[in-house]
Chains A and B, each alone.
Chain A
Amino acid sequence: MTVTILTVDDSRTMRDMLRMALVDAGFRVVQAEDGLHGLDVLRGERPQVVITDINMPRMDGFGFIEAVRQDAQYRAIPILVLTTESDDEKKLRARRAGATGWIVKPFDPAKLIAAVRRVAA
């Protein structure tokens, strides 16, 4: 079965880049533009892996991860956060919120796929 990945990012550029890399690697990609939208799509699409940005309008990445982890149906889904290298503090906060792992921006497709592979069930 094709693995479905949900990407949550408010930047169209990032969404496009994620989509390109993931689709090339054979994943099915569904996308959302912020945390709230992400929760919606999550419920409709039941992805196997989620990749989310941190800085987003309406609901940021932390809020999104917390909301997913509080939902019994989805709490077991691996979530990767997109972060910039300097953001050790953000990485920590994301982990505290329940992120499974992280991807450092700017990412190259190989690293992205490796990170997804590491967490995909």
Chain B
Amino acid sequence: MDPMAEIRLTFFQECEEQLTALENGLLSMQEGDSDSETVNAVFRAVHSIKGGAGAFKLNALVSFAHIFETALDRVRSGELVPDVDAMKLFLRAADALADLVSASRDGGVEVTAPYVAIEEEFNALIGGGGAAAEEDEFANLAFQPIITAFDEPPPPPAQNVFIIRLRPLRELFAKANEPLALFRELARLGTLTSICDIKNLPFLDTFEPEDSYLSWELRLETDSQRAAVKEVFDFVEGDCDLAIELAQSATAPPPQPEMDITAILRKVREEAPAIAAAAAAAAPPPEADAAPKAVKAAVQPTIRVDLDRVDRLINLVGELVINQAMLTQRVLHSSHVRDREVTSSLEELERLTREIQESVMAIRAQPVRPLFQRMSRIVREVADATSKDVRLRTEGEATEVDKTVVELLADPLTHMIRNAVDHGLEGPEQRVAAGKPPEGTVKLAAAHRSGRVIIEVSDDGQGINRPRVLQKAIANGLVPPDAQLSDSEIDNLLFLPGFSTASTVSNISGRGVGMDVVKRSIQALGGRISISSAPGQGSTFTLSLPLTLAVLDGIVVTVDEQVFVIPLTAIVETVKHEPSRIHHLGDHSFVLRVRDVLVPLIDVGAELGVRGPTSDLRSGVAILIETANGTRSALLVDNIQDQRQVVIKSLETNYMRVDGIAAATILGDGRVAMILDVDALVGPRHHDWAAAETPLAKAS
């Protein structure tokens, strides 16, 4: 990749980070944080985006960032104390800036109404004058041509002769400027001769190493104009006495120099070490750096690593785990090695391998914070569009989960948050009428619980309108008209394909995706979703997700000599399976009585086509499982072999998705085994039904 393109990539990556920092800072300012470092960080974020955007000539971005930055600078300097409305404007501007960044990244930015509107609001906020004065600057910034030496017009034929008198002041040296460097620059413009005046040089006993004693008269013959000559002294302006005279005449021969420039350079060079040594001896040991050092410890050092490298490491460790399992199995099966030491070494190896694996997985773990932060924008947008007052509260943002899980959660979570604001929360009047505060609350919480990540989306709105849900489900033929459903069964109807609660499709949530899509995305991540709701008090959606997509705890079962893995999270219990508890419903359908409830009994072998359907299900083991929507079924297998952690291998990478199979894995003997997709296996029996066991139980 060409280096500029690479830096461009870096820039946009960095923009994402800056935008996050920006939003964070603004949110904590909104909460009343007026710490100057918070305000500074917010300012810096916008400033950095502007700086990089300038380098890539992203003019729209530069100009929007600039006006935003100007307003923030006023806050920083204390000239502007943002009120509630100003904070809202800042947050909206942050959203708009994020949009502009994406638009700039994908090419093609049009300055559309929202940006203009926000810019106008900014102008109003900071007073039009300031912003107008800055306009010129963009013009410079945006259209600044790249001037290189080659582009300059040919020099006028006549030679100019400048006489330059320079007497550096001590400030010039204090800023590490050097007459020597200035001469070198001048010499690039033409022919330079100089006379050094050393009459002010004191004797060594009164020599002040940091003072300035020399002055020069220089004569420069050059094609350049005065401006170019003056530019050389740009950095030392005010730190020296300087006079530049244009001493005409290309005809007069230059006077013989009394001391040529190389001699001066030599002289300065010879003196420099002495001056430096004197300075070093004179200066007391600096104390200034002691204080800064103490602050430093707070920052955790981090390194950036290519994701590919991490994934490669994870794959290798995955193979190591398999190999270790194979080794153990082989050693323990070969009868002549039953040495105690070998066994304990193998156990140690297993422990180490497991530990390496966990550490490597932890590299991919990321806090859910950025994901939650994105949601605050969604809340703002939907609240604006629906004229509701909404506050988003987040909890457990530091909870870590696999990067891919975090990424794939964005869409379902967005949808749930939209739903919560659009459908869950009431309007302000309605809330007040119900005795609630006018401002609704949506809460987003994450926590680790028994090896999984639990994410809750809750609102303090009206709760699920169950009569309407049921009515709609009946109208759509999803449940029989006379169905007697429990509250939780009615709530679960929301997850059925095509179900949408809003009687009028709003343009917020009504985008053709229902909760069934959310549920499917969560399931695709190996997660489950459940819902609870109390009328008038609100609803809570709970997601339970695996910490990683790389390994899974499962039980290893056999069906007709083929080995399968059933994810442990789906399993409720293994059921004592006696022929008397099985009822044949005909058409190769069976139910199993588990205590007082009848659940469908699924012959895994027949279901997957491993063997033909049979009406004789007397042998085997039944495993009671619970699917994501809380319905229970029993899976019939021949044997349970083992419970173990397995490394998940995609079947889709080289093959394709197989209905009823979640993924593949490699077992201790090196062979591939399929991991069952329990929900899909059970699915067909329940496709119209949220909960099948209750009516069956009533039938018994």
The chain A residues found within 8 Å of chain B, CB to CB, are 10-14, 16-17, 20, 35-36, 39, 55-59, 63, 66-67, 69-73, 75-79, 84-86, 95, 98-102, 105-108, 110-111, 117-121
Contact = CB atoms under 8 A, between A and B. Distances in A.
B235 A101 contact: yes
Given A71-B288, A85-B140, A36 B296 contact: yes
B52 A13 contact: yes
Interface string B155-182: 0000000000000000000111110111
A70 B51 contact: no
A36 B279 CA distance: 24
A73 B52 CA distance: 33
Contacts of B279: 72, 75-76
A16 B288 CA distance: 30
Question: Per DSSP, are chain B's interface residues mostly helix, strand or loop, or mixed?
Answer: helix
The 3 closest A-B pairs by CB, nearest first: A72-B283, A101-B235, A106-B54
Interface stretch (B146-154, B312-320, B412-420): B146-154
Contacts, number: 140
Interface in B298-321: 299
Nearest to A37: B296
Contacts of B369: none
A108 B151 CA distance: 14
Contacts of A118: 181-182, 185, 232, 235
B291 to A, nearest CB: 10
Which among A56, A100, A121 has the greatest number of chain B C-beta atoms within 10 A?
A100
Contact of B235 (A17, A69, A119): A119
Contacts of A76: 176, 276, 279
Contacts of B295: 36, 58
Which among B140, B141, B175 has the greatest number of chain A C-beta atoms within 10 A?
B175
13 contacts: A13-B14, A14-B48, A16-B7, A36-B292, A55-B44, A72-B283, A72-B284, A73-B280, A78-B177, A84-B141, A98-B175, A106-B144, A119-B181
A108 B177 contact: no
A23 B58 CA distance: 25
A102 B276 CA distance: 24
A99 to B, nearest CB: 6
Interface in B156-212: 174-178, 180-182, 185
Contacts of A67: 288-289, 292
A79 B286 contact: no
A84 B13 CA distance: 22
B289 A12 contact: no
A77 B279 CA distance: 13
B292 A110 contact: no
Interface string B42-74: 011001101110110100000000000000000
A6 B235 CA distance: 19
Contacts of B284: 72
A105 B54 contact: yes
B286 A10 contact: no
Contact of B289 (A55, A71, A101, A102): A71
Which among A36, A76, A77, A98 has the greatest number of chain B C-beta atoms within 10 A?
A76
Interface string B11-25: 101100000000000
B10 interface: yes
Contacts of A39: 289, 292
A36 B146 CA distance: 33
Contacts of A36: 292-293, 295-296
Interface string B574-600: 000000000000000000000000000
A75 B286 CA distance: 11
Interface in B258-272: none
B5 to A, nearest CB: 11
B234 interface: yes
A121 B44 contact: no
B684 interface: no
B177 A119 contact: yes
B652 interface: no
B180 A121 contact: yes
B348 interface: no
A11 B140 contact: no
B79 interface: no
A71 B284 CA distance: 9
Contacts of B37: 57
Which among A57, A66, A118 has the greatest number of chain B C-beta atoms within 10 A?
A118
B134 interface: yes
Contact of B44 (A56, A71, A73, A110): A56
A117 B677 CA distance: 67
A106 B144 CA distance: 9
Contacts of A111: 147
A55 to B, nearest CB: 5
Nearest to B145: A108
A112 to B, nearest CB: 11
B3 interface: yes
Given A20-B3, A72-B282, 5 more contacts: A13-B10, A69-B174, A72-B283, A110-B148, A118-B232
